[in-house]
Structure 1
Amino acid sequence: MTDAERKIIAAQGYVELGLYEEAREELSPLPAAMHERVDVIEIMLLCLMGRQQWAGALALATKLCQQEPAEPGGYIHAAFCLHELGKTTEAVDVLSRGPASLRTKPVFYYNMGCYHARLGHFDQSLSYLERAFEMDGDLRQHAKKDRDLDALRVRLEAQHA
């Protein structure tokens, strides 16, 4: 294992622990060319998201979408950043235009449900959320605390009482 590979693995571990500054410190000495690698971009993206630096994170998520247009991760992250920046309509557009592989991910349906709820499209939101819950029942617990779903709280609880 090279020193660079060790630094990338360490940075991934730091991100999993929520130690974003430590992760960035691991990656900073890497040669510039290595900062263009998808795994390094994703780590840096997660660091920015963890620190709620949405504009910078969006730039890296957009880069991921360009480098790996068939992979869902960049689109999910880009949409989330847009939503956090108050551009929820654009977030829906990004997910809608993403690759077909997005539709295999419960988080696609969950996030679309959240975004539509925030936009006031409650029936659409409930439809997306129901699909997300069918794919991953654990998301139902997460939904109980999600502020994006506050306007739907009573309807969500009534569906599963």
Structure 2
Amino acid sequence: MWEEANETIDNLPAELITDLTILGWRMRVYQELDAVELMKTVATHLIKMQPEKPENWIGYAYAVRHVDGLEATLRDLRTAIKRYPNYSVIHFELALHESWMGMLDEAKEHLQRAIQLDPKLREKALTDSELAPMVD
């Protein structure tokens, strides 16, 4: 299915292939195909071209984690949170990454902020074995 989606995008007219919406879809396809190097390239372009869309940083962080590791991802998520201090998902992702790196105080702080911004994230946190103990 994802190979077909990628082929469909490849066969679009040239002017559509570089459309930012299409690139967003391509990033998702690359994620599903585990083509993280390509995903990182597309995500890098998207965060530069669409600075108003913090959700592009989530795809970027996923790719960076798989290509460059947790420390690089943590650095990039900290950059993102400075730009988008009220975007709940970046706080949530920071909490996850900090918990994986043993930075539990920071993780709890970001998790609490994520839940404050979007209470639905509380339920998501409760399903994660590392975050669940941090939920108040």
* TM-score, with length taken from structure 1: 0.72
Whether 2:90 is the aligned partner of 1:108: answer yes
Q: Does 2:17 align with 1:39?
A: no
Aligned-pair identity in percent equals 20
Equivalent residue, structure 2, for 1:140:
122
User: Which one of 122, 130, 134 corresponds to residue 104 of structure 2?
Assistant: 122
Cα deviation, 1:62-121, whole Å, max 9, x if unaligned, reads: 111222234313222111222234611111221222375522221011001001111110
**Greater gyration radius:** 1
Could you tell me whether the CA contact under 8 Å between 1:70 and 1:99 is conserved in 2?
A: no
Greater relative contact order (Cα 8 A, min sep 6): structure 1 or 2?
A: 2
The alpha carbon displacement at 1:34 in A equals: 2.0
How large is the RMSD of aligned CA atoms in angstroms? 2.2
Q: Residues 90 and 132 (structure 1 numbering): CA distance in 2 closer, same or farther, change over 3 Å?
A: same
Give the TM-score of the pair, scaled to structure 2: 0.84
Aligned residues between the structures: 136
Q: Distance in 2 between matches of 1:145 and 1:62?
A: 30
- Please state whether the residue corresponding to 1:111 is helix, strand or coil: helix
The gaps in structure 2 that reach 5 residues or longer are none
Q: Secondary structure at the match of 1:30?
A: coil
Q: Distance in 2 between matches of 1:103 and 1:47?
A: 28
Structure 1 spans left out of the alignment, 5+ residues: 1-18
Distance 1:127 1:100, change over 3 A: closer
Q: Which amino acid aligns with 1:44?
A: R
